[in-house]
């Protein structure tokens, strides 16, 4: 059965919009866990637009499930991860002007930096995942640089505007799962998944965990965090 890690970044986005203390992603994480979430994901961006360093520190102390820290491939972020020791780190590409993470990592291009940073994190007992497009070359490269997991970027599938395009993107994800399985690479998935489009992805066997943020926080803003997480868990499991 697949797992659900709830991304609470956008609770922090609402807080930062006012520059006040509420709503607190730490409280959101507690409620998500009580509702049955298998883990909590946060993205500490270099520009600190939503999650703050204080959130990472407090969440590390309070989370009872697993903390997945998404971050850019920088020395600053690796130092923070080595200090706070999340259960897992997911390396993501980061652009200052993007609204959200737009594409997957180019693992081939950053092989030597990745190899070195993955090794440092793994020595500290942290599981390392790479956020990549469902592309065979990127999957092979992820395995080569020593990643434990890949997280399949589901954005193109979620944005598909026709049935044919949607099926083509699902097929790419299916092939990616099979390639990763052969290599022994763990498989997570996320980005753009919501209460409607997730069903077809859940139907593909092999994905261990889904990382979902925006759609859960959007529903939570109307019906509450507990209900939003329970509704998503019902689809993921
Ligand atoms: N996985 C990764 C690596 C991401 O960067 C994001 C966005 O922060 C997500 C999953 C969650 O995407 P969404 O907010 O669209 O559910």
pLDDT digits (tens, 9 = 90+) for 180-196: 999 999 999 999 999 99
pLDDT digits (tens, 9 = 90+) for 124-153: 999 999 999 999 999 999 999 999 999 999
Per-residue pLDDT band for 27 (boundaries 50, 70, 90) equals: very high
3-236 is a CATH 1.10.645.10 domain: no
Length of the chain: 237
Residue 215 has pLDDT above 70, yes or no: yes
Average pLDDT over residues 1-9: 98
pLDDT, position 95: 76
Per-residue pLDDT band for 98 (boundaries 50, 70, 90) equals: confident
43 is catalytic: yes
Helix boundaries (H) for the chain = 9-18, 25-34, 53-62, 75-84, 111-123, 136-144, 155-159, 163-183, 198-202, 214-223, 225-236
What CA–CA distances, in Å, run from 225 to 20, 25, 210?
Answer: 20, 11, 17
pLDDT, position 96: 67
Ligand 1 geometric centre to CA of 9 (Å):
9
Which of 191, 196, 207 best tests ligand 1's pocket when mutated (most atoms within 8 Å of CB)?
A: 191
Q: Indicate whether this model's pTM tops 0.95.
A: yes
Residue 103 has pLDDT above 90, yes or no: no
Domain locations in the chain as residue ranges: 3-236
Ligand 1 geometric centre to CA of 101 (Å):
7
pLDDT, position 220: 98
Give the integer Cα–Cα distance in Å for 31 and 237: 19
Ligand 1 geometric centre to CA of 163 (Å):
23
Please, what is the average pLDDT of the chain? 97
Atom of ligand 1 nearest to the CA of 158: 15
pLDDT, position 54: 98
Q: Choose the catalytic residue: 10, 33, 50, 70.
A: 70
Residue 100 has pLDDT above 80, yes or no: no
CA-nearest of 46, 98, 54 to 70 is 46
pLDDT, position 102: 72
pLDDT, position 37: 98
191 is catalytic: yes
Residue 166 has pLDDT above 80, yes or no: yes
Percentage of the chain lying above the pLDDT 90 cut = 96
Atom of ligand 1 nearest to the CA of 10: 14
Which of 51, 70, 194 best tests ligand 1's pocket when mutated (most atoms within 8 Å of CB)?
A: 70
Ligand 1 geometric centre to CA of 20 (Å):
24
97 is catalytic: no
Atom of ligand 1 nearest to the CA of 214: 14
Ligand 1 geometric centre to CA of 84 (Å):
21
């Amino acid at each position: 059965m697949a797992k659900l890690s709830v991304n609470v970044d956008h609770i922090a986005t609402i807080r930062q919009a006012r520059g006040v203390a509420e709503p607190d992603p730490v409280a959101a994480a507690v409620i998500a866990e009580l509702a049955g979430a298998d883990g909590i994901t946060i993205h500490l961006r270099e520009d600190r637009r939503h999650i703050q360093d204080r959130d990472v520190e407090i969440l590390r102390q309070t989370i009872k499930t697993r903390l997945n820290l998404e971050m850019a491939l920088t020395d600053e972020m690796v130092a923070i991860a080595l200090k706070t020791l999340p259960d897992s780190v997911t390396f993501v590409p980061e652009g200052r002007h993007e609204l959200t993470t737009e594409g997957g990592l180019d693992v081939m291009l950053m092989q030597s930096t990745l190899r070195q940073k993955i090794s440092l994190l793994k020595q500290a007992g942290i599981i390392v995942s790479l956020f990549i497009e469902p592309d065979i070359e990127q999957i092979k490269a992820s395995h080569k640089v020593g990643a434990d997991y890949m997280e399949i970027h589901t954005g193109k599938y979620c944005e598909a505007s026709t049935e044919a395009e949607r099926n083509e993107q699902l097929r790419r994800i299916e092939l990616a799962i099979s390639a990763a399985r052969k290599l022994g690479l763990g498989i997570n998935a996320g980005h753009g998944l919501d209460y409607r489009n997730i069903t077809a992805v859940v139907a593909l066997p092999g994905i261990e965990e889904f990382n979902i943020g925006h759609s859960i926080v959007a529903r939570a803003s109307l019906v509450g965090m507990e209900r939003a997480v329970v509704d998503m868990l019902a689809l993921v499991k």
